Amino acid sequence: VSNAGVGMVGPLECQSLAAMQSLMDTNFFGLVRLVKEVLPDMKRRRGGHIVVISSIMGLQGIVFNDVYAASKFAVEGFCESLVVQALRFNVAISLVEPGPVTTEFETKVYEEAERADYSRTDPETADIFTNLYLRNSKDVFASLGQTPEDIAEHTLRVIEAVRPPFRHQTNVAYTPMAALKHADPSGALMTDAFYKLVFKYDAVLRLSLR
């Protein structure tokens, strides 16, 4: 089970390349290093199961989570490419894709975001992040957040499955969000829906979450 991860939220201009590279080294290359270690023996034994804790943000990018989403997209692409070869050797690969999970991990990320310096971006972007994104995120976690124990139960079901699924989403509230991308390959439907949700109907979003 590959579960190591770090988070990053905020305006892109306020994040250093060194911090981005460090995040990718943990979230993506950490997985790659692990798989390179365990896969050869699994192939020799012609059996095994690699379970990767991904994210719904590996399927759908979320505003102000640019680099974190990129790392999870990399994880998804890596596993999607590898799974066909792995199956030839009777090795299963499963991606567990949670939405928001209420842990110290998330608390620390958002506490750091509230204290960060946003002088390197324009005032409008800083205002959108602090007064729209951070405020709505708290409501999202309060309303839709899962517990670590819930994610552990989902992961256990994936591990124990007779035919392990390649993808397993833990929060049904996010299924429509992922479905928007498949409904319109041009991306226009998804982009328009998220733009309106963030900038036109944010009051309705907060009310529905509460």
Give the rounded distance of the alpha carbon of 184 from its chain centre. Answer: 21
C-alpha span between 59 and 177 (Å, rounded): 9
Q: Does residue 31 belong to any structural domain of this protein?
A: yes
In a domain, 3, yes or no: no
Question: Would you report the helix, strand and coil content of the chain in percent, each value rounded to 5?
Answer: 65, 10, 25
Q: Is 119 inside any structural domain?
A: yes
Q: What is the pLDDT of residues 14-68, one digit of tens each?
A: 999 999 999 999 999 999 999 999 999 999 999 999 999 999 999 999 999 999 9
Q: Tell me which residues are annotated as active site.
A: 68
What CATH number does residue 115 fall under? 3.40.50.720
Name the pTM for this structure: 0.89
Q: How many domains does the chain have?
A: 1
- In this structure, what are the phi and psi dihedrals at residue 64, rounded to the nearest 5 degrees? 70, 10
**75 within some domain:** yes
Establish if 168 belongs to a structural domain. yes
Q: How far apart are CA 144 and CA 57, in angstroms?
A: 15
Hey, what's the torsion of the CAs at 202, 204, 208, 210, to 10 degrees?
70
Residue 158: which domain range?
Answer: 12-209
The answer to whether position 2 is within a domain reads no
Is the predicted pLDDT of residue 206 greater than 90, yes or no?
A: no
In this structure, is residue 6 part of a structural domain?
A: no
Taken as a whole, the chain contains a residue count of 210
Other CB atoms within 10 A of residue 97 CB: 25
Query: Would 4 be classed as within a structural domain?
Result: no
Q: What is the pLDDT of residues 69-110, one digit of tens each?
A: 999 999 999 999 999 999 999 999 999 999 888 887 777 777
pLDDT above 90: residue 202:
no
